[in-house]
């Protein structure tokens, strides 16, 4: 993995201008119809000529997301626990300066803590029609154990996908994996592996986190991996790391010690 990965994973530094904020906007709407599942939605109703970002903030922590302006609903997770969130749509003015288009304060009440990690959201985007999801359902047909589902999908990915050392040089800032493309390419970077794994498992009912940060297994490199909720606890899985070892006929443990990983963002 190359250090250049960090330019795609780390949050952008932006400057919010002092221009007026609005609770509503004719061009965009923030919805709370999925709040019980731990999400807010964003609909874009007009063409914006410059880049859009969506900010999710709570207790001094901020997540920033790109926005799809193709007319489809965007869903953004509220993964920082119960309480009040400030969510905002921002439009680029120039350079790293952004102005608010619309904002909303929303309250996330009591949740199981796992519900949000079953959803299709902006970073882990899947649908029942996705070929990767159809494959997941086929692999897990008849299974009732979440641990069995994790193992069969883990085996599928680590056996069939290879690391793409050339891909990173072709990506633009703000890249988010398309699971259908990754599924067909059978290769990718750690971000691709972890989004594919999360999408496939969520689609068959296993709560799965996409995690970004650092790992002692891959020193000094920004990395992406997963956590899966099985047997009443979160377990760490790194399909990118394991695929290389397993394909070289080396032995690795599917579940990793959490002390080897330092998360900076969880999706």
Q: Give CA torsion, residues 164, 169, 175, 177, to 10 deg.
A: -10
CATH 3.10.620.30 fits 123-266, yes or no: yes
Output the pLDDT for position 26. 64
Read off the pLDDT of residues 113-122 as tens digits, 9 standing for 90 and up: 899 999 999 9
pTM here? Answer: 0.91
| pLDDT > 70: percent of the chain | 90
Q: What is the DSSP letter of 141?
A: T
pLDDT band per the 50, 70, 90 thresholds, residue 11: very low
HSE-CB of 104 using CA atoms within 13 angstroms: 16
| pLDDT > 90: percent of the chain | 81
Tokens encoding 145: 């154990």
Average per-residue pLDDT in the chain?
A: 90
Polymer length of the chain: 267
CB 13 within 8 A of CB 51: no
Q: Is the pLDDT of residue 4 over 60?
A: no
Helices (H) and strands (E) in the chain, counts: 6, 14
Tell me the domain boundaries of the chain: 11-118, 123-266
* Best mean pLDDT range from 105-114, 143-152, 164-173: 143-152
Multiple choice CATH, 11-118, 3.90.1150.10, 2.60.40.10, 3.30.450.40, 3.40.250.10: 2.60.40.10
Q: Which residue matches tokens 């971000």? A: 191
CB 210 within 8 A of CB 179: no
What is the C-alpha end-to-end distance of the chain, expressed in Å? Answer: 21
**198 by DSSP, 3-state: which?**
helix
When pLDDT is averaged across residues 124-138 and rounded to a whole number, the result is 97
Read off the pLDDT of residues 200-225 as tens digits, 9 standing for 90 and up: 999 999 999 999 999 999 998 999 99
Q: What is the DSSP letter of 79?
A: -
Do the domains 123-266 and 11-118 match in fold? no
pLDDT band per the 50, 70, 90 thresholds, residue 7: very low
């Amino acid at each position: 993995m190359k250090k250049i990965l960090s330019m795609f994973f780390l949050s952008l530094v932006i400057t919010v201008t002092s221009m007026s904020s609005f609770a509503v906007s004719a061009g965009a709407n923030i919805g709370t119809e999925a709040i019980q599942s731990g999400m807010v939605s964003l609909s874009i109703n007009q063409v914006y000529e410059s880049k859009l970002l969506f900010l999710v903030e709570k207790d001094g922590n901020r997540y920033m997301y790109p926005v799809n302006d193709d007319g489809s609903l965007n869903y953004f997770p509220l993964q920082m626990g119960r309480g009040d969130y400030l969510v905002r749509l921002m439009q680029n003015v120039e350079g790293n300066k952004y102005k608010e288009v619309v904002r909303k304060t929303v309250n996330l009440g009591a949740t199981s803590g796992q519900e949000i990690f079953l959803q299709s959201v902006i970073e882990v985007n899947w649908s029942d029609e996705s070929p990767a999801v159809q494959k997941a359902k086929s692999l897990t047909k008849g299974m009732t154990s979440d641990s069995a589902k994790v193992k069969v999908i883990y085996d599928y990915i680590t056996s069939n996908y290879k690391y793409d050392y050339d891909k990173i040089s072709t990506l633009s800032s703000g890249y988010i994996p398309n699971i259908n493309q990754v599924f067909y390419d059978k290769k990718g970077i750690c971000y691709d592996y972890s989004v594919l794994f999360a999408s496939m498992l969520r689609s068959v009912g296993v709560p799965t986190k996409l995690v970004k940060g650092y790992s002692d297994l891959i020193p000094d490199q920004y990395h992406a991996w997963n956590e899966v909720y099985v047997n009443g606890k979160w377990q760490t899985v790194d399909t990118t790391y394991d695929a290389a070892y397993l394909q070289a006929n080396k032995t690795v443990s599917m579940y990793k010690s959490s002390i080897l990983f330092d998360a900076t963002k969880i999706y």
